[in-house]
Amino acid sequence: MERLDPLINPGGLSRHVHSVVGGNAFGATMDFATTQSSSCTSVDLIPDKSNYWMPNLYFHKNGKFTLVPEKSPKHKIYYKYGDRGSPGKDRSEFPKGFRMMAGKADLRSDDGSLGSAGSQMEWYCHGPEVKSTGIPKGFTSCPYGLAAAMRFPSCWNGQDFNKDQPLAHMSYPTTGLGIDGCPTGFQKARFPEIFIEYWVDVSQFDGQYGANESPFVLSSGDPTGYGFHMDFLNGWQEGVLAKAMKTCNPGNTGDRLDTPQCFGAGSVQDGNAKEACKKKSSVNEDIGLNGPLSQLPGCNPIQAGPGLATAPANCAGGAAVEPISASGPSSATTATTAGLAQTTTSKPVPVDTKPTSSSPVTPTTSAKAGPTPTDTVPPSGGSSEMSPPSVNSTSGVWKAAGCFLDALNPRSLGSRPEWWGQKISSSNCVEHCDSIRAKYAGTENGGECWCGNELLNSVSHPGKCTSKCVGDASEICGGAGHLSIYSLDGLVSIKKRRTHHRHSRHFLASV
């Protein structure tokens, strides 16, 4: 469990905490090669080093948030394909690097996109047998566990994942008959259908809530459950799933992928091996493992809707991804329990186009970036906003240049935030960026330090940097989606590249 999401927030912190299952090389930035570097996996099948993740659940009462423990086996993962009694027809295994998401994280009411209860998403209290599309009411105890279940789409249009439109490249089938069962425009490939149940144990809260109360809230600040979502990054050993789908039908009737006859002797591991597969956390924050919290990790005020959740302003978060390489802003190192250090790049992850079935699978390529004109921007923002107005460092006096928008895809300043074991302030961020010979230093969200040699696709936004630094409350460290920028001459040169600016993220406010 930790606050990472390599699909929506590659290279940095996710807005909320996730429960993660699969290969132990999971990190802030990933590609297929990263998954294959896992030394173990926490799912049934050893050849599956994919990662699957979803928001955690908390119990909220008297202003405190208690992390709800997961109930063994925690995550039940099913792969369904083909028609009853016959192997998967026209089904492809996932290309290397394939990524997708199910559900809408900012949803706070039933907008009709989730289908009827049980078709795409369902919450189920086992015991009194109460179920609904959102978190159900009408019970005071779930003796056999509370579970959230979600079905992923399986029809692909051939395009890569786009974090600004995370559902656009996939669609749910209209029938169960092979590729012909996919809607028009989504017939590049039909993959096996992934269905996951996420189980939690709520028994410790028995007697603390009534049948008409809703005391549970997702880590994203969602008390309705409609914003539950799941992410998938393919890490299957190449060829294994394609071979199994041609000869076996483990998923046709809802069986889990724990069938040695389909995947070969020694391919299935027992529960002890799965439990032993751990990953050292790479985010330095308390997510509730040490007791109740006064607020949800990250910046996630409770938003009950019924409208879509929105990104809160002026969020300060002191967490950071660690440990960070001191060699510059191009890599991040993630430690695993096996003692391995996996260095991952933070460039966009392309989908491998190699066909893996009888049907060719060729994704649509994205347009190349256009020219990169440069605008020189004079200092902006008053002394009250840019605090401190200057910082003495080894190379000289760094001056505040102003408050600037932090764009997305790519980020405006560097590929991921820096961290070196201290609580962030604008002063020590400048000193750190100076030490690695970066041209610009920037602080964001009260607790992030960014270093880089160019500022991309940004604009001056005076008045938006109001977050106090977690390392020094007398200083300002940017704001929500905005950077307090420093340079030696107090000037910045903004380079323009084709991109999606941060306002596009509003659709993904709580992702």
Contact 336, 323 (CB under 8 A): no
Q: What b/e readout covers 36-60, taking b as 16+ CB neighbours within 10 angstroms?
A: ebbbbbbbbbbbbbbbbbbbbbbbb
Residue 409 predicted with pLDDT over 60:
no
More confident residue, 104 or 417: 104
Using a pLDDT cut of 70, give the percent of the chain over it: 76
Amino acid present at 94 = F
Average pLDDT over residues 84-107: 83
Task: Give 376's pLDDT tier (boundaries 50, 70, 90).
Answer: low
Claim: this prediction has a pTM higher than 0.95: no
Residue 281: exposure state from Cβ atoms within 10 A (0-12, 13-18, ≥19): middle
- pLDDT tens string 159-201: 999 999 999 999 999 877 788 889 999 999 999 999 999 999 9
- Cα(117)–Cα(207) distance, integer angstroms: 27
Task: Give 317's pLDDT tier (boundaries 50, 70, 90).
Answer: low
- pLDDT tens string 451-472: 999 998 888 888 889 888 888 9
Task: Give 114's pLDDT tier (boundaries 50, 70, 90).
Answer: confident
- pLDDT tens string 15-70: 899 999 999 999 999 999 999 999 999 998 999 999 999 999 999 999 999 999 99
Cα torsion angle, 274, 279, 283, 285, sign: positive
Task: Give 254's pLDDT tier (boundaries 50, 70, 90).
Answer: very low
Average pLDDT over residues 120-124: 90
* Least confident stretch, 147-161, 280-294, 489-503: 489-503
- Cα(369)–Cα(348) distance, integer angstroms: 13
Residue 364: exposure state from Cβ atoms within 10 A (0-12, 13-18, ≥19): exposed
Average pLDDT over residues 278-294: 87
pLDDT at res. 398: 95
Average pLDDT over residues 352-358: 43
Length of the chain equals 511
Task: Give 335's pLDDT tier (boundaries 50, 70, 90).
Answer: very low
